[in-house]
Amino acid sequence: MPDDALLEIDDLCVAYDGSNALNGVSLRIGKGELICVVGANGAGKTSLIRSISGIVPSSRGSVRINGVEISRRPPWDICEMGIAQVAEGRQIFSALSVEDNLLIGGSLKRARHDLANTLDSVYQLFGRLRERRDQLAGTLSGGEQQMLAIGRAIMSKPEIVMFDEPSIGLSPALTDVMFGVVKSLNEQGITVLLVEQNVAKSLALSSRGYVLENGSVVLHGSSRDLVENPDVQRAYLGL
Ligand SMILES: Nc1ncnc2c1ncn2[C@@H]1O[C@H](COP(=O)(O)OP(=O)(O)O)[C@@H](O)[C@H]1O
Ligand SMILES: [Mg+2]
């Protein structure tokens, strides 16, 4: 990975009512990288993202962005530091219009100065959202809601976007569209942490990957090596 670490996580632990969901996870993401964390249902992927974003408190460990410790900061501070997430199940505001959802994403201090340009770039990326800017977000299709959740993350002018299973509930064709969007955001300079159960597609997209099992990283390496690893092939790729 590049020497220039954007996000550094060391020995991160998360527990719910005394039972551990993350047991000492360490990972590093370089500026500009697209990395994936893959694992089965219940492995701890969402807990990892929610702990980085400050929604779920960690019981131990450290999270740093650009060398600054953030593990005890509130979620809005963490957003201001350039960490955005596209949550599992989208979590858009159904009763607000498409555009109002996007403007909420742009309401951070780091994003406010450039709101009109950023909104335009989101509408360029997702023409569908421009056409439906006045429509209530709750009436969008599943794929459109996923686009809106991504658009809202872009509106915050993030350094890194964490995607929690962006392919969930989408058809194979829409999944490919969504992964294409993730790739193109990365090509525009946004660092990406992609969390997925779709191991084959995530490893095809990313340069490096981490395999999470029962709250621990059991393997990590270049995505090319992971695809060829017999344990990964057996457990996740059906080979
Ligand atoms: N809010 C919660 N309260 C109690 N247990 C939880 C909560 N959220 C997740 N867990 C548990 O933590 C473990 C990891 O869950 P999660 O992070 O959602 O995994 P994944 O996203 O990989 O499916 C699971 O055993 C799950 O049941
Ligand atoms: Mg999850």
Question: pLDDT band for position 3 (50/70/90)?
Answer: low
What does the block give as tokens for 34?
């697209």
- DSSP string over 142-178: HHHHHHHHHHHHHHT--SEEEEE-TTTT--HHHHHHH
Question: pLDDT band for position 1 (50/70/90)?
Answer: low
Where do the CATH 3.40.50.300 domains begin and end in the chain? Answer: 5-82+159-236
pLDDT in tens, 70-90: 999 999 999 999 999 999 877
* Ligand with smallest separation from the Cα of 40: 1
Distance 112 CA to ligand 2 centre (A): 31
> E-strand spans in 31-114?
34-38, 60-65, 68-69, 83-86
28: amino acid identity, one letter: R
**pLDDT of 2:** 61
Q: Using most ligand atoms within 8 A of CB, pick from 47, 53, 210 the residue to mutate for ligand 1.
A: 47
What does the block give as tokens for 53?
């974003």
Q: Using most ligand atoms within 8 A of CB, pick from 13, 22, 25, 46 the residue to mutate for ligand 1.
A: 46
d(CA 61, CA 22): 10
Q: How many other CB atoms are found less than 10 A from the CB of residue 207?
A: 17
d(CA 191, CA 161): 6
d(CA 147, CA 233): 31
* Ligand with smallest separation from the Cα of 45: 1
The CATH number of domain 5-82+159-236 is 3.30.230.70: no
Distance 49 CA to ligand 2 centre (A): 9
**pLDDT of 132:** 97
